């Protein structure tokens, strides 16, 4: 009886040793192994994203009013990029995209309009990182000149692969004139009209399209505004501009902004009074829209 048990055990062991391990099944734009898709339960695939608070770990901080929360970058980069890919952020701000790109073994090129902001954010990275993994360009993302500067950086970063394009694009523009980010006339938050904002945003979208690798994805993070006694649907109007330049809309995600504001205090009560008096609702959401260059 013992002898048979041993033989059976040996047979099972040989069977297990002959078992073929499946090669990872991945898409060209990420490292997700679809053979083991169940282990990726942390990746959001629904259209409603809720986060209780802003992540302030791993180099992130809320040092700049108007930056997007790092959890968005984490979700997008895992879903739409591979290790060593280059993320392009054309409204770079305080560097959320670059910080999370490094955390996830990606690289980043950012365009920021204000030189003082470029200098400040550069201090968040080592000299080596600013040579090999993060490039920050001071420029106007609407212009051809800035596009060519970005192209030159991308060509250097993609030299080994023979590429001069980014593998993912982040667009987190000002929400029209809700927050004034500078006194520069090129700043989209200083547009005289909302139509001018849309016109300039479309120029940025065109540059994003031209600088993105074919088949890869872009994300637009934006909210709406209440203006002139009516809702101004910035999200859907900017989506149209993305489609105008050639992008195909892949997803529209609604994300909560409750709990992500800074020093809300009595202002919340003031807005509640205004809502009751004015017949409108207070925005508690923004959009994360994804697009593909096909």
| Joined tokens for residue 239 | 């989506």
Say if CB 66 and CB 114 are below 8 A apart: no
Q: 153-210 pLDDT, tens per residue?
A: 999 999 989 999 999 999 999 999 998 999 999 999 999 999 999 999 999 999 999 9
| Confidence bin at 1 (pLDDT 50/70/90) | very low
Please state the pTM of the whole predicted model. Answer: 0.89
Reported as a single tens digit per residue, the pLDDT across 65-112 is 678 999 999 999 999 999 999 999 999 999 999 999 999 999 999 999
CA atoms within 13 A on the CB side of 133: 21
Domains of the chain: 26-51+67-292 (3.40.50.150)
What average pLDDT does the chain have?
91
Burial of 130 (0-12, 13-18, 19+ CB in 10 A): middle
Instruction: Please tell me the predicted confidence (pLDDT) of residue 270.
Output: 86
Of the pLDDT bands very low, low, confident and very high (cuts 50, 70, 90), residue 56 is confident
Mean local confidence (pLDDT), 12-23: 65
Residue 253, token pair as written in the block? 């995600």
Residue 121: pLDDT over 90: yes
Q: Tens digit of pLDDT for each residue in 213-244?
A: 999 999 999 999 999 999 999 999 999 999 99
More confident residue, 13 or 191: 191
Per-residue pLDDT at 244? 98
Q: What average pLDDT does range 238-260 have in this prediction?
A: 92
Instruction: Return the pLDDT at 67.
Output: 83
DSSP string, the chain: -HHHHHHHHHHHHHHHHTPPPPPP---TT----GGGGGGGTTS--SSEE--SS----TT----STTPPPHHHHHHHHHHH--TT-EEEESS-TT-HHHHHHHHTT-EEEEEES-HHHHHHHHTTS-HHHHHHTEEEEES-TTSHHHHHHHHHHHHHHTGGGT--SEEEEEE----TTSS---S-TTSGGG-SSHHHHHHHHHHHHHHHHHHEEEEEEEEEEE--EEETTEEE-HHHHHHHHHHHTT-EEEEEEEEE-TT-SSS-TTHHHHHHHHHHHHT-----EEEEEEEE--
pLDDT higher for 60 or 1? Answer: 60
- Asked whether residue 17 carries a pLDDT value surpassing 80, the answer given is no
pLDDT over 80 (residue 12): no
- Are 88 and 103 in contact by the 8 Å Cβ rule? The answer is no
pLDDT (average), residues 130-155? 97
Name the one residue in this structure whose structure tokens are 């959009």. 287
């Amino acid at each position: 009886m013992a002898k048979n048990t041993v033989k059976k055990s040996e047979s099972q062991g040989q069977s297990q040793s002959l078992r073929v391990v499946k090669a990872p099944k991945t898409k060209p734009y990420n490292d997700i192994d679809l053979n083991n898709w169940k282990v990726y339960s942390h990746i959001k695939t629904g259209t409603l994203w809720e986060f209780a608070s802003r992540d302030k770990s791993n180099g992130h901080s809320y040092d700049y009013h108007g930056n997007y929360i790092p959890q968005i970058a984490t979700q997008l980069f895992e879903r739409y990029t591979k290790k060593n890919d280059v993320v392009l952020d054309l409204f770079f701000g305080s560097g959320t995209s670059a910080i999370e790109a490094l955390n996830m073994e990606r690289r980043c090129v950012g365009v920021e309009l204000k030189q003082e902001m470029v200098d400040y954010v550069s201090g968040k990275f080592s000299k080596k990182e600013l040579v090999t993994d993060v490039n920050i360009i001071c420029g106007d993302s609407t212009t051809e000149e800035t596009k060519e500067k970005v192209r030159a950086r991308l060509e250097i970063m993609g030299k080994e692969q023979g590429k001069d394009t980014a593998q993912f694009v982040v667009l987190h523009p000002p929400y029209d004139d809700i927050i004034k980010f500078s006194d520069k006339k090129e700043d989209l938050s200083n547009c005289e009209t909302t139509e001018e904002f849309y016109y300039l945003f479309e120029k940025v979208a065109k540059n994003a399209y031209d600088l993105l690798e074919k088949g890869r994805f872009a994300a637009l993070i934006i909210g709406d505004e209440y203006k002139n006694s009516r809702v101004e649907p910035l999200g859907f109007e900017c989506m149209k501009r993305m489609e105008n330049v050639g992008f195909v809309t892949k997803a529209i995600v609604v994300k909560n902004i409750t709990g992500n504001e800074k020093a809300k205090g009595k202002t919340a009560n003031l807005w509640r009074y205004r809502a009751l008096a004015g017949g409108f609702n207070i925005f508690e959401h923004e959009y994360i829209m994804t697009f593909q260059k096909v």
